[in-house]
Structure 1
């Protein structure tokens, strides 16, 4: 299982949001670029960045995101405001390893399918779930889609994966969140990346054994030092298979 150390950026700062509310961010007083370098130094093979300003159509973090991509030394999975082919291709050209598309996939499913066709295994679908339905517009709009029906619409697209967030359990109920995400993972052929489920190292150990969970995004718990990244990476490694001894 891949651990994706995660940075959420707003106005050039690392933040964490509660249920997606930008009016109540937790601001972490760390250097985003040095933090990204630290992720790589700890042994991470991927990292995830969400540009919160880009979700609102702003480009104030563009230079910072570019610097993180250049400095990280590992592939960066980038989300935030991808609503056009031009923007997707611009960031792939700038070195983003993967692009995460959320709201636009609900508004224009053909857009996601086309991006996945032109950039196979570089496009990730974000599915945010609240009370059994997919949410859009940064968790603000309740859609008519159930997550199971929604993801099946993209079964044939060559996606790199699907990030699933159970918003209802994002803060309070880790086990419930794992249950929702594992149920969705069973409904798709695409590898699923869990978000919002890891608060302590035991959560990684639980996720590791859920079928079709290929990774987990970990942000707040790393920045709060509730989890050590090197330890998290070690737990996420596959268990060694027993080998027979031959004389």
Structure 2
């Protein structure tokens, strides 16, 4: 199970929001590329980069992502603001190891099929963000009428090579999470699933390590120091 530090970018800076809501910035760091390099230096083997500005339609931060890619040598998976096949292709050609498709994948599943055929399924991940047991899109502002297990099966059939499952109900709150929704998703698909949302203690990491979860994204807990990164790395397997 990979421990994946989150580098969320907004207005050119590394930030942490509560439940993805603008105006709830709790951590603001000036240089995302330096932050990313810091995680690599501390032992991270994968980075999770999100263009929050792109996701919230405030304007992208692609030059910042380019800086990160120049600075680090470990794989970078990236999402946020990927509105078209061309957007995804640009990032993959730029050096992003794996793109994370959210709204685009759910509204246009054919895009997953096209990209996985062109670039390989292992480079295409679909974000399934769950709120009140339903998948939400457009920066977590609109609900769909489908559950993560339902959409997970569909995305696997379309060629997705992985799923990022975010429990929005717990995101950024540092209050732990319920593991049942993740287990339901893991039972429904055969492709790797990365978990995100509410991971705040080593006990949370230990719990996830006992599942078939491929990786875990950790943000606020690392930046606030409530979870020790080096100790979390002990659970990589």
Q: TM-score, normalised by structure 2?
A: 0.93
1:231 aligns with 2:215: no
Conserved? CA contact 2:177–2:199, under 8 Å? no
- The secondary structure found in structure 2 opposite 1:20 is coil
Cα RMSD after superposing both structures:
1.6
1:156-183 deviations in whole A, cap 9, x for unaligned?
Answer: 233331010111233375242x221122
Distance 1:175 1:56, change over 3 A: closer
State the match for 2:20 in structure 1: 20
Distance 1:18 1:203, change over 3 A: same
Distance 1:59 1:149, change over 3 A: same
State the match for 1:166 in structure 2: 167
Give structure 1 regions of 4+ aligned residues with deviation exceeding 3 angstroms.
56-60
Structure 1 distance, partners of 2:64, 2:184, is 36
Once the two structures are overlaid, the 10-residue window that deviates more, 22-31 or 101-110, is 22-31
- The secondary structure found in structure 2 opposite 1:9 is strand
What is the 5 A alignment of 1:107-122? 107-120=107-120, 121-122=122-123
**Unmatched 5+ stretches in structure 2:** none
State the match for 2:137 in structure 1: 136
Conserved? CA contact 1:117–1:157, under 8 Å? no
- The secondary structure found in structure 2 opposite 1:156 is helix
Conserved? CA contact 1:165–1:181, under 8 Å? no
What is the aligned length? 235
Report the alpha carbon displacement of residue 220 of structure 1 after superposing the two structures with TM: 0.9
Distance 1:159 1:181, change over 3 A: same
State the match for 1:193 in structure 2: 194
Structure 2 distance, partners of 1:139, 1:231, is 31
* Structure of larger gyration radius: 1
Conserved? CA contact 2:162–2:193, under 8 Å? yes
Distance 1:79 1:60, change over 3 A: closer
**Unmatched 5+ stretches in structure 1:** 239-247
Conserved? CA contact 1:79–1:100, under 8 Å? yes
Report the alpha carbon displacement of residue 59 of structure 1 after superposing the two structures with TM: 4.5
